[in-house]
Amino acid sequence: MPQPLTPETSSLQAPGYETKQESIPILGVSNLLIRSLLNKQQFHDPLNAAHDLGISSAFWSLFGLLWPSGSRLAERMALRPVANERILEIGCGLGLASLVGHRRGANITASDCHPLAGEFLKANLRLNKLGPMNYRHGHWGHHQAQTQDTEVDGKFDLIIGSDILYERDERGDLAHYINDHLEDHAEVWVVDPNRGNRAHFHRNMTQQGFTVHEESLWMEAQEHQVAYKGRMLTYSRD
């Protein structure tokens, strides 16, 4: 698994877990102030909210860390012209791409299955002096949101996600979920750090009528950033 970004930070105490606050550079736009978990060792699920959604203690912290693929997706959102379109980020975690799009005036909805993702998004909106933005519960696996009116609904003109191909997904749950929430003319952007499950996702998306364009992403190590090697996957229908 790739290591999270590691800029210098100051530790903050929160109920049951520790967080940090960082100024995150994103190519093409001003830095974002981001509150994230201190490290992968953080865990706090006293009411089993995450457990009941299928999130184990080993994976509990991953939503709240900064990952290189998220920065690559945020850079792409910084370049996309703002238009009259609905955008959905799935598996958003800390939602860097959503925050970039929202600050630029895009109509974007962030979504994740983690019970704390919405709280962290609100905190980061406040840190950056941004107004409210749309957030919904989004889960393409077996577990569903406990309250139906908090789930992702409607169809979107662009669906984006970073580092979401972490399972082989033999049943094609992710591709079906995307198809259910996508307008016919829409595109799908996925930034994948070469986890090895891309071929399965290609197959599942092909079955939904999509074709794919792959672009290699490569970045040398820089101050506070590890080297990055992955792919930008753009799916569309003819």
Give the start-to-end residue ranges of the domains of the chain: 65-236
> Is the Cβ–Cβ distance between 204 and 210 less than 8 Å?
no
3-class SS of residue 120: helix
3-class SS of residue 24: strand
CA angle in degrees (0–180, nearest 5) for 193-219-60: 35
Q: Is the dihedral of CA 174, 176, 178, 181 positive or negative?
A: negative
Give the model's pLDDT for residue 87.
Answer: 98
Q: How far is Cα 114 from Cα 64, in angstroms, rounded to an integer?
A: 9
Give the model's pLDDT for residue 83.
Answer: 95
Residues forming a β-bridge with 229:
218
Walk along the chain (238 residues) in steps of 10 and give the mean pLDDT of each run: 44 78 94 97 95 94 96 97 97 98 98 96 98 95 58 96 93 95 96 95 96 94 82 94
pTM: 0.91
Contacts of 7 (CB under 8 A, 6+ apart): 22, 23, 24, 224
Give the model's pLDDT for residue 225.
Answer: 72
> Is the Cβ–Cβ distance between 2 and 68 less than 8 Å?
yes
CATH of span 65-236: 3.40.50.150
Give the model's pLDDT for residue 6.
Answer: 39
Give the model's pLDDT for residue 14.
Answer: 65
Give the model's pLDDT for residue 127.
Answer: 97
Provide the residue type at 206 as one letter.
T
Residues forming a β-bridge with 112:
137
How far, in whole angstroms, is CA 74 from its chain's centroid?
Answer: 10
Give the model's pLDDT for residue 150.
Answer: 87
Phi, psi (rounded to 5 degrees) for 74: -60, -40
Q: Which two tokens stand for residue 62?
A: 């991953």
Give the model's pLDDT for residue 84.
Answer: 95
Q: CA nearest 215: which of 194, 230, 228, 231?
A: 231
